Amino acid sequence: MRDDSFSFKLKRGFGILMMLAFAVFAVFPILWVLILSFRPATQLFVPIWETPFELTLENYSAIIGTNFPFALLNSAITAGASTLLALLLGIPAAFALSKSRLSGKFLASWLLLLLRMAPPVGFVIPLFLIYINSGLIDTYAGLIFAYMSLTLPLVVWSMWTTFNQIPNEVIEAALMDGASIWKTLVKVMIPIARPGIVAAAILSFLLAWNDFFFALIITRSETVTAPVAVMNFVSYASVDWGAIAVASIVLTLPVVPVIILANKYIVQSLGGAVKG
Amino acid sequence: MASASASAQLERAYKRMLIPTFLAVGIFAIVPLVGMIGLSFTDYHLIRGFRGEVGFQNFVRLWTDGRFMESIYVMCALSFIGVAVQIVMGTLVAVGLEKIVPRWRLARGFFVIPFAVPAIVTALVWLSLFTPTLSPINAFFAIFGIQIPAILTTQTGAIAAIVIADTWTTYPFVMLLILAALQGISTDLDEAAAMDGATRIRAFFYITLPLLVPALTMVALFRFIETLKHFPLIFVLTNGGPGRSTQATNYYAYVQTFQSSNVGYGSAIAMFLFFFAGVISLYIAKRNARLADA
Amino acid sequence: MYLKTTRRLMAAALAGAMALQSGAAFAQEKTLKVLLFGMPSTIGLQALAGDFEKETGIKADIEIIGQDVFENRITLSFAGRTGDIDVVHTPAIQVQRWVEAGWINPITDQVDALEDKDDFLKGPLEAYAVEGDTYALPFFAEVGLLAYRKDILEAKGQQPPKTWDEMLSVAAAINTPETAAIALRAAPGQGFNMFVFPALMWAYGGKFFADYPSDLTPAINSPENLKALQVYIELLTKYGPQGVGRFNFPEIVAAVQGGQVAMTVDGTSITSQLVDKEKSPVADNIELALPPSGPAGRFPPIAVHGLAVPSDAKDPEASFKFIQWATSKETMAKIALNQAYPDFTRASVASIPEVVEKYSGIQPNFLDLRVEALNEARGDYRPLISTWPEIGAALGENINGALNGLVTPEAALEKADQEVSDIIDSQ
């Protein structure tokens, strides 16, 4: 079974080297930002190996005085709420699309994809005009609904494939036992589909959390989100790289443990989407 | 249970489950999209307001607008090169994690981290890495007297820069999908073929890779659509430059809409992108329907 | 049953939406919303907001946002009449556009009633006059200066360049692989490369239009402009640092502070960071001088920023009160002392002893140099017309293209000329 030939070892060595190179590529920019976030203003771009002990927490304390923490809270609220809302509305819809014999399913699937893919630059202006007239501009509700227009198609699309993998017999058995269809979904289907739900939740949270463009257009001062607030450190005469580095770390950090812990769910759930 | 009335009742229940999503999508996605279509037939200007409808004039203008044509070229370069690089790298990392270093359990998580980095942060981080006077990479190689060329000052370089930054944050998506697909492929297949190491790589190309093709196609299409919508990377990293050589179509639509205030014309450009997305999503939907039937 | 749940949910969502909305409206009513973009002076102003409340009883909520996102925010807020801004940061180059769109209100009468109106520097104040009305009060006027490393120039036996031609020969003499001779703003944009390039253009006798403001036929493709562009390109490509073709002010600041560049010509908001001993390791070796001149004279870059009252401001009187306070002698003096702010717009501030002491610490003649450059600067350094933002973008992009070798300088100017003409015609 094992191959101990020199040429195999060489190839394996080459493979490991390649993986190391990729690992460096993946981690290096994050390390760089981490270093940047601890460097005092005068040492920002002095190579770290020249003055390795010139470190400070100033950048972190300085950012507390800005509106960035507020923006971070806004990001968490809107991304979290839009994800919850999308799950709440999207899971039953995906269930229905997966298990019913409705006609027009194909059209629905196309529409969902299309919405997922439509260029925001086109429809933010109409959305902006609608929001102006309905008073939704610069409100949490407005931003949450806008993000929902991104996350809901994603949730429905991915849960649809997840539910497809659950055999119809499971539902039939539950219905036989006298459960309502609604109860069947909550008590039977959702527990089985949990990995898929976790994956859908994470992907849609990321989608909203990472958004720059929608927030740029439909928020003013009350609901500004963190990705837009980061740009406030690019000012008229200078760029506050220390603050940007801190903001980047703070924006990325909360998501990292989640994504590391949950990546196996994402893999499981995507497995359904790419099967065949 | 299989009585006709029970089944009809069930179908009605399903329909009700769809209503909220239907409404939400209708109000917050379809209405703005219809608005976009409507605006593309007007000359709406952020400062001058509406002057009237202009029929197909905006679309005719697309044909004669050199900047629009060039933007398509840039968009295609970004998308094709970007998707190719991301697919290759994502697949290599996924296959590597499965076959070369299966014991790097923890590393799997680390390879996913860039996926969690917001696009605007990605853009700012790579901007500092690509600016020769700021970059630690340049400083490091300068020790050995090696000068890394500035890449944001040529069109090819700037496109490469966007592709690199984009690849950094999106290859994990490809990687995750390919990992998922790999787990669906029975491993004894290639283990049988991998009896001796010499054929192991060949086995990958002849056995595993063909089985990955459906997944790869899917990922490629998804990534392709996403790359058509590049915004923060161009906005921060290249500013559309040098000159205007990295103003891809989506960015050009932004420039027309927001910098020049020509919402009508900007919407027409967005319509073009929308049409593009429509064709590709139709293809994916058809493909999926076929797979579901099979 | 499910339908009922849905209905309840929707009702709750709507109620939530309304509650949030009215909450926001309530917060807006009792305070003045001031929108500024980030610069040392506005940050200094934000820190003093408490003083304004003490003096007038009006609470000012000063929000500072990034320059890159400012224009988006403003355009949409004004075009959509969202009424979320009571006092707005108004760059002079935007004022014509905003007035034409009806976005800001004239404050002529209130300004004329000011007792100390004449204390404002004349040029900056006039930058806000449109068809006989005044639309803003200036709080910031920066002017381009030459900043150079005197140690490097001395070591090579060079005098600071008085003209752009001399700049070429000095640059050639001092350029080394470690320290490039010169960096200038190069990134495309009406406030980026088009803040600096017109200085060369005017100096070599070039101009934007055939006969501004009466005849707006573009005159971009003139031999004078070509000469200016060639000098600009030669300076940066031969004697500039690596990657200068994408440089904007932050890269310039970092490069000069890091000792990678010896000279630059930029606004006082930039050059004051180079001589700031806390931020700049090379501060002691930096000397400031008037920017280089050319055959047609000296044309220092100039940028003026002011405060205006949006036409949908809820309480225009209160808004003006804020503007009056923000541009008062006392406020300006405080900011000048707390921040790097030599760009105040009142003559009297320059004679306050503490202010003089602080800025002569940078360089004994610093404030005089600034006034001298301001006096030489022309108000229409960048044309004061409503289409300038588009025109500036088109010029900036073509010039940046030529700098980075995408097209020849001739072709770039030819194309820019055509595009400017199209923009003017589309009006």
Cβ contact C343:C304 at 8 Å = no
Query: Residue A40: inside a domain, yes or no?
Result: no
pLDDT band at C7 (very low <50, low <70, confident <90, very high): very low
Give chain B positions within 8 Å (CB) of C75. 46-47, 258, 261
Amino acid, single-letter form, for residue B258: F
Residue C16's CB is within 10 A of a number of other CB atoms, namely 15
Distance of alpha carbon B89 from alpha carbon B172, whole angstroms: 9
Q: Is there a contact between B17 and A95 (Cβ–Cβ < 8 Å)?
A: yes
Q: Does A9 map to a domain? A: no
How many whole angstroms separate alpha carbon B79 and alpha carbon B265?
Answer: 23
Q: Which domain holds residue A201?
A: 67-229+254-274
Q: Per residue in C298-357, pLDDT tens? A: 999 999 999 999 999 999 999 999 999 999 999 999 999 998 899 999 999 999 999 999
CB atoms near residue C110 (< 10 Å): 17
A100 part of contact set with chain B, CB < 8 Å: yes
CA distances from C399 to C225, C236, C249 (A): 11, 13, 17
The architecture in CATH of the region B40-293 reads: Orthogonal Bundle (1.10)
Contact B283, A109 (CB under 8 A): no
Report how far residue B217's alpha carbon sits from residue B237's, in angstroms, rounded to the nearest whole number: 29
Quote the CA–CA distance of C228 and C344 in Å, as a whole number: 31
- What does the pLDDT look like over A54-91, one tens digit per residue? 888 988 998 888 889 999 999 999 999 999 999 999 99
pLDDT tens digits for C271-300? 988 988 888 889 999 999 999 999 999 999
Give tens-digit pLDDT for B177-233.
888 888 777 665 555 555 555 566 777 778 778 888 888 888 888 888 888 888 889
What residues have CB less than 8 Å from B82, skipping those under 6 apart?
A: B162, B163, B166, B167, B223, B227
Q: Which chain A residue has the Cα nearest residue B230?
A: A119
B8 contact A CB<8A: no
In a domain, A111, yes or no: yes
- Residue whose pair of structure tokens reads 């200078």 in the numeric block: A238
- The count of structural domains within chain A is 1
pLDDT of residue B168: 96
Query: Whose CA is closest to A47, among B151, C279, C177, B133?
Result: B133
One-letter identity of residue B227: T
Cβ distance B101 to A19 less than 8 Å, yes or no, reads yes
Tell me the per-residue pLDDT of B254-282, one tens digit each, with 9 for 90 and over.
Answer: 999 988 889 999 999 999 999 988 898 89
Which among A30, A210, A248 has CB closest to B124? A248
Selected for mutation to probe chain C from B133, B151, B237, B265 (highest C CB count within 10 Å) is: B133
Domain extent listing, chain B: 1-37, 40-293
Say if B161 is an interface residue toward chain A (CB within 8 Å).
Answer: no
pLDDT > 80? residue C171 = yes
CA angle B273/B278/B281 to nearest 5° reads: 120
Q: Which residue of B has its CA nearest to A14?
A: B100
Q: Identify the DSSP state of C107.
A: -
Interface contact flag, C67 A216, Cβ < 8 Å: no
B154 to chain A, closest Cα gap in Å = 23
Task: For residue A238, list chain C residues with Cβ-Cβ distance below 8 A.
Answer: 249-250, 253, 273
Chain A closest-CA separation from residue C192 CA (Å): 10
* C273 chain-A contacts, CB cut-off 8 A: 237-238
pLDDT of the residue at B191: 56
With CA atoms as reference, the chain B residue closest to A91 would be B17
Whether residue B206 lies within 8 A of chain A, CB to CB, comes out as no
> Whole-angstrom Cα distance, residue A236 to residue C195?
12
Q: How confident is the model at residue A3 (pLDDT cuts 50, 70, 90)?
A: low
Tell me the residue type at B113: I
Compute the distance between CA of residue C9 and CA of residue C332 in angstroms, rounded to an integer: 53
Give the CATH number for residue A167. Answer: 1.10.3720.10
Structural domains of chain C in order of their starting residue, each with its CATH number: 31-141+303-376 (3.40.190.10), 142-301+379-425 (3.40.190.10)
For C76-132, the pLDDT digits (tens) are 889 888 888 999 999 999 999 999 999 999 999 999 999 999 999 988 998 999 999
- Please name the chains neighbouring A, where neighbouring means 3+ C-beta pairs under 8 angstroms: B, C
A248 to B278: CB separation less than 8 angstroms, yes or no:
no
